[in-house]
Amino acid sequence: MNMIQSILAGGLNSKQYSNSLSPVPRCGPKAFKNAIAQKKNNIASTSSRSRKNKVGTTTTTTTTTTTTTTIRKRKAKNNNNSRKKVGAKKTKKKFTLEEEIESLGDLSTYQIPENLLGKEGKEGATYNIESTLTGQAYAMKVFRSTKSGAKIAKEAQFQKVAASLGIAPRVLGYSGSGKIKYILMDKLSHRLTDLARSDEQNYELTAEQQQNIIECADKLDQLNILHNDGNALNLMTDDDGQVFYIDYGFSKTIDKKLLKKYGPHVNGCLTISMLVRSLRHHSIKAPLLKQYVEQCKATANR
């Protein structure tokens, strides 16, 4: 049977030709219009997919390029920073305390009026010393030749112990014999009486300064050291305003006898009691210190 006879016999719907023959398009204006519309849709869809593929490729390429460029810039910046750090880093030589003291040379050469710190006292004078290695300034307390070497050593030891709790300037060295007798120590910036006389304080210690003085006294009690010289000129501060006790020439160990008489606050009953009188002599008010002394004495009398 030929193809025409098969069609006339309904062979178009047979399984034999359903897979091999293409469907016959419908005829008429509506079918033609639908076919044109479908063709346009197919073209538009193909164009859209093409655009998407192109955009995706471009974006991927751009992102990769941008990322690569960013990484290169970041690496270059890090390399530059690394070079800068290496170039800017300078090796600063560190000196031991012995080397710095040795660099000071003959300490007696500093005993000139230009280096005098404050007024000369009964036991001697204090001079300014500056290291040629670091520029660090020190204070050298020079004693008269008649001063006992044992007493100088005792004073230096008391000050060293007090300095361990940050209430006295650090002792770098001392000598009770030889060409000059001295104690070499860190230099403090301000005398407390000078700060009290300033316009800001108007002849009165601040509450913080008074509290610092009390804290120093309590720490001395803990160390069993009686400062025993409540001269207002023996109080100094650093640049941060922290108060320090200087001059331990009259200091002594707090023994059982002192504890029995004055109780646990020996420096409050004696050292700060003298300090209140000295501040009054300089016309400087310190009401908190006065109250503290009264409390210490009341505790001692119980």
| Tokens matching residue 46 | 């193909």
134 — phi, psi (to 5°)? -115, -15
8 Å CB contact between 293 and 276: yes
Domain boundaries, the chain: 97-186, 190-300
- The pLDDT value given to residue 80: 53
Q: Is the Cβ–Cβ distance between 169 and 201 less than 8 Å?
A: no
Q: What is the largest CA-CA distance in the chain?
A: 150
pLDDT at 100: 82
Of 230, 244, 302, the C-alpha closest to 273 is 230
SS3 labels along the chain: CCHHHHHHCCHHHCHHHHCCCCCCCCCCHHHHHHHHHHHHHHHHHHHHHHHHHHHHHHHHHHHHHHHHHHHHHHHHHHHHHHHHHHHHCCCCCCCCHHHHHHHCCCHHHHCCHHHEECCCCCCEEEEEEECCCCCCEEEEEEECCCCCHHHHHHHHHHHHHHHCCCCCCCEEEEECCCCCEEEEEECCCEEHHHHHCCCCCCCECCHHHHHHHHHHHHHHHHCCEECCCCCHHHEEECCCCCEEECCCCCCEECCHHHHHHHCCCHHHHCHHHHHHHHHHHCCCECHHHHHHHHHHHHHHCC
Q: What is the pLDDT of residue 121?
A: 78
Domain at 97-186, CATH from 3.60.20.10, 1.10.287.110, 3.40.140.10, 3.30.200.20: 3.30.200.20
The CATH topology of domain 190-300 is: Transferase(Phosphotransferase); domain 1 (1.10.510)
> For residue 85, which amino acid is it?
K
- The reported pLDDT for the residue numbered 42 is 60
Q: How far apart are the C-alpha atoms of 68 and 77, rounded to whole Å?
A: 14
pTM for this model (two decimals):
0.68
Q: What is the pLDDT of residue 88?
A: 47
> How many angstroms separate the CA atoms of 18 and 132, rounded?
110
- Digit-by-digit pLDDT tens for the chain (302 residues) are 444 444 445 444 444 434 444 444 444 444 445 555 665 566 555 555 544 444 444 444 444 444 445 555 555 555 555 444 444 444 557 788 888 888 888 999 999 999 999 888 788 899 999 988 888 899 999 999 999 999 999 999 999 999 999 999 999 999 999 889 999 999 998 999 999 999 999 999 999 999 999 999 999 999 999 999 999 999 999 999 999 999 999 999 999 999 999 999 999 999 999 999 999 999 999 999 999 999 999 999 87
pLDDT score, position 292:
98
